[in-house]
Structure formats: C-alpha cells, structure tokens
Structure 1
Amino acid sequence: MAEQPIELIRLEGEGNSVILRLTGREKLHDEAAADVLAGEFLVETPFVRGSFRTWVHPDELEQWQEALDALDAGQDVEWREGKRGAEMFIERDAAEERAQVTIRDTSMSLTSVTVTVPLADGWFDEAYERLDRAWEFWSPAER
C-alpha cells in the first residue's frame, strides 16, 4: 500500500463529511483467501462523529465505478447493499447540487447515519481519480 492512506470516497462540505479511507492490503481468513483493502468509514457532523472498520474487495471497486457512473448521470445509488460490512446509499438532489449520504451497518452495531453534503460537478473528477489510485493496488491480472 502507499505510504499514506488513500481516500476512496470523500464527500464533504457544510460541516459534514463521509470518507472511506483505505489503509492497507490484507488477507482475510486464510492464506488461500484473496487480498482485500482494509479501511474505515469516517463520518463527521457537528452533531455526530464515528468510524467503522471495513474491508473492500476488488469486485466492490468495480461496483463503486458503476455507482459513480450512475450518480454522475443523476441517479441515486446503493453501494455494498446486502453485503458484509457497511452499506452506503446516496440520494442526489441535482437541483441543489447536494446529496444525502447514508451509511448503514447491518451486521454489528445496527446503526445508520445520514449526512447531507454538497455534490458539485468537480467532485466527480476527483472521485474517479481516487478510484484509479485504489486500483493501483491490484495488478491488471487480478482485475
């Protein structure tokens, strides 16, 4: 992994933020298991602050790419729904250039939090760049 963590997802503004920071590459369970990227969701508002450890699999990076494409097209998205770990839902209000982002932990704490953040067009370029940096940790043969 790079010397510093990579932020795969960074939605922030108006005092609120939702970040998915990738901190390293790990093997889960046993030596035969595929590598995953370890990380944590960080959510902060003036009212609530929390973090949730998670692991991101290569297929979830592909799904994040699809979610970004849909979000850029003005659609609401669900990422990691029904999977192990935290789920993320983004409801876009294109007229206001804002989004409601919900992080839901259905496996451990059974907690969810919804944060409203600005979602300007320039955010998408940065989001795709963040995704490209995350992909650098898997060789093309593994993608």
Structure 2
Amino acid sequence: MAEDPIDLIRLEGDGNRVILRIAGKEERKRRTENDALVGEFLVDTPFVRGTLKTWIFPEDLRQWQQALDSLDAGQDIAWRDGKRAPWLFIELDEDDDRCQVTIKDHSMSLTTVTITVPLVDAWFDNAYRRLDLVWETWPMTED
C-alpha cells in the first residue's frame, strides 16, 4: 500500500464528519477472488467518534457512482444495503442544505450512527473527482 490514502467519501461540516478513507489495494489471494480496496469509515462529532474497517470491491465503486447520481438528482440513497459490509444511508433535508448520514454496522459491532452534515451543490463535483481518483490510483479487476 504505497499510495497515500484517498477519502472516497467525505461529508463534513458543523463539527461533524463522515469519511470513507481508502488506504490501498489488497491483491487477490486466488484467481477466483476479486481485488479489493482496504478502507475505513471514520465518524467524528463532538459527541461520538469511531472507526470501522471495511473492504471495497469494484461493484461497490460502481454502485457508489449510481448512488452519487441519485443523490445529485435529489433522491435519498442506500449504499451497500443488504450486504455483509457496513451500510451507508444519506437522507436529504428538503428544507435545508443538509443531510442525515447513517452508517450501520449490522455484522460486527451491531452499531448504527446518524449525524447531520451540510450538503451543498459543490460537494458533488468533489465526490465524483474522489471516485475517479480511486479508480485511477487502484485499478481493480473482477472475475
């Protein structure tokens, strides 16, 4: 993991933040396994702080692209809902430039955290750039 970490997801403001930081690529051990990125969710508020390790697969990145498109169109999103990995939900507040971000770890810590952060239009361009940078930095293959 020689590359510097990249924040695939970075939602922050008003003293709260949720970050999905990608630390590097984990190579396949067997030819039948997909490449994966090693990541960590970081939640930081004046009230609660925590981290949660996760793995990101090529399918997850494609689904994050779709989730960004939906969010940009004004729809709430659920990313990785129903998978064994931590789930991410983003619900938009129609009356404000804010959103509710929920991380749900249903398999290890059995913990759910929801925080509120600003979500302005400029955030989307940055989010798409972060996604492109992850793809460019750590190209992945899947069988």
| Cα distance in 1 between the residues matched to 2:71 and 2:119 | 10
Distance 1:20 1:97, change over 3 A: same
Counterpart residue number, 2:42? 42
Counterpart residue number, 1:25? 25
Q: Aligned letter for 2:46? A: P
Equivalent residues in 2 for 1:1-143 (5 A)?
A: 3-27=3-27, 30-32=29-31, 33-136=33-136, 137-138=138-139
| C-alpha deviation, 1:84, in angstroms | 1.5
| C-alpha deviation, 1:3, in angstroms | 2.5
> Could you report, residue by residue, the CA deviation over 1:40-94 in whole angstroms, capped at 9, with x for unpaired residues?
0000100000000000000000000000000001000000001112100000114
Helix, strand or coil at the partner of 1:89: strand
Helix, strand or coil at the partner of 2:126: helix
Helix, strand or coil at the partner of 1:12: strand
Helix, strand or coil at the partner of 2:42: strand
| TM superposition score normalised by structure 2 | 0.93
* Number of aligned positions between the proteins: 141
| Cα distance in 2 between the residues matched to 1:50 and 1:72 | 27
Q: State the percentage of identical aligned residues.
A: 61
Preserved contact between residue 34 and residue 142 of structure 2 (Cα < 8 Å): no
| Cα distance in 2 between the residues matched to 1:103 and 1:27 | 26
User: What do you get for the CA RMSD once the two structures are aligned?
Assistant: 1.7
Helix, strand or coil at the partner of 2:67: helix
| TM superposition score normalised by structure 1 | 0.93
| Cα distance in 1 between the residues matched to 2:44 and 2:65 | 24
Which contiguous aligned blocks of 4+ residues in structure 1 show a shift greater than 6 angstroms?
Answer: none
Bigger RCO (CA 8 Å, 6+ sep): 2
Unaligned runs of 5+ in 1: none
| Cα distance in 2 between the residues matched to 1:142 and 1:109 | 29
Helix, strand or coil at the partner of 2:69: helix
